Amino acid sequence: MELRSLLQLAYVGATTILLKRKRPLVGSIILTDKCNLACKHCAVSNITSIIYPYAQIRAEMQGLYTEGVRILFFYGGEPFLWRNQGRTLRDLVIEAKQIGFLLVNVVTNGTLQVDLPEADLVMVSLDGGKEKHNAIRGETYDRILANIEQASKENVCLYMAINQINKGDIKAVCETAVRTKNVKAVSFNFHTPYPGTEQLKLSRADKQVCADKIAQLIDAGYPILNLKSALPYIVDNTFPTPCYQCVVVENGGKWVCGRCIGIEGLCAECGFFFAAEFSLLFKGNLKVTWDLLRTYLKYI
């Protein structure tokens, strides 16, 4: 991250904490729910399969920036499937930077393409070693790793959703990160049990074992883009929800924290680490704030 962007983010973050502001800082735009995969743990793909038009995405970007958002994520569905009026995901990332977003990230399944040098982070979902990943995501592991290695910039962060199938593969993904070209770090989530995916959820005891493993790997120096200080809150689901500084927009709709906010009871079982990490940060948790500064400076 450039020093100028870092200082700007630190200023916006500090005023949000000190003035107890609830305005959003982290925004996600869903470009489409269309997807080329059908992962076992996912409940959000191919519901409409609509690719949202460029004009709408552009207005959403401008709206979020005006509201105060400075960290932007492009999500799907599969965002690399997005195309409209001759524009691609890459054009959107470039425009987002021109608008003034300080960090622009993309979350992708990595099967179509990974190379996006203009993005700060390309979060590529990898759900285990080859066997467990393919059990969840179909035969995609080799293609994803080849795409990562062929990228032109070291801006990839592996993104693993830990569930009943792959809970034993946390270290394997960290080792893949270390040995794979272009990968900077790994980021984890626990499975969030959307209706229809409850069979994959982790018990509290499972989460504790996984959190202990993640903490041990952080201590051992593996490149992990999560905060050790937030893990106890994630295991016990005691972080404040929703995270008012996070916002998601899709096709004219807007949700604080996540689209999942409308699903009754889901926040109490939330496995999204960002929700815990950002809500604790913006509540002024000093340990989390220090941990975030140290961790983000290392990997972004």
Ligand X SMILES: C[S@@+](CC[C@H](N)C(=O)[O-])C[C@H]1O[C@@H](n2cnc3c(N)ncnc32)[C@H](O)[C@@H]1O
Nearest distance from C-beta of residue 7 to ligand SF4, angstroms: 28
Task: Establish if 37 lies at the interface with ligand SF4 (CB under 6 A).
Answer: yes
Q: How many CB atoms sit inside 10 A of residue 95's CB?
A: 18
The amino acid occupying position 41 is H
Q: Which of 13, 28, 32, 41 forms a contact with ligand X (CB under 6 A)?
A: 41
Task: Establish if 78 lies at the interface with ligand X (CB under 6 A).
Answer: yes
Q: How many CB atoms sit inside 10 A of residue 3's CB?
A: 7
The amino acid occupying position 289 is T
DSSP 139-151: S-HHHHHHHHHH-
- The one of ligand X, ligand SF4, none whose footprint includes residue 242, by CB under 5 to 8 A per kind, is ligand SF4
Q: Which of 120, 258, 277, 295 forms a contact with ligand SF4 (CB under 6 A)?
A: 258
- The one of ligand SF4, ligand X, none whose footprint includes residue 270, by CB under 5 to 8 A per kind, is ligand SF4
The smaller minimum CB distance to ligand SF4, of residues 39 and 165, is found at: 39
Using CB under 6 A as the binding rule, the residues of this chain from 130 to 159 that contact ligand X are: 159
Task: Establish if 190 lies at the interface with ligand SF4 (CB under 6 A).
Answer: no
Please check whether residue 288 is in contact with residue 227, taking contact to mean a CB–CB distance below 8 angstroms: yes
Report DSSP state, residue 203.
P
The amino acid occupying position 223 is P
Task: Establish if 194 lies at the interface with ligand X (CB under 6 A).
Answer: yes
Q: Is the peptide bond before 77 cis (omega within 30 degrees of 0)?
A: yes
Please check whether residue 105 is in contact with residue 61, taking contact to mean a CB–CB distance below 8 angstroms: no
Interacting residues with ligand X (CB under 6 A) = 35, 41-42, 44, 75-76, 78, 107-109, 125, 159, 161, 189, 191-192, 194, 197, 271
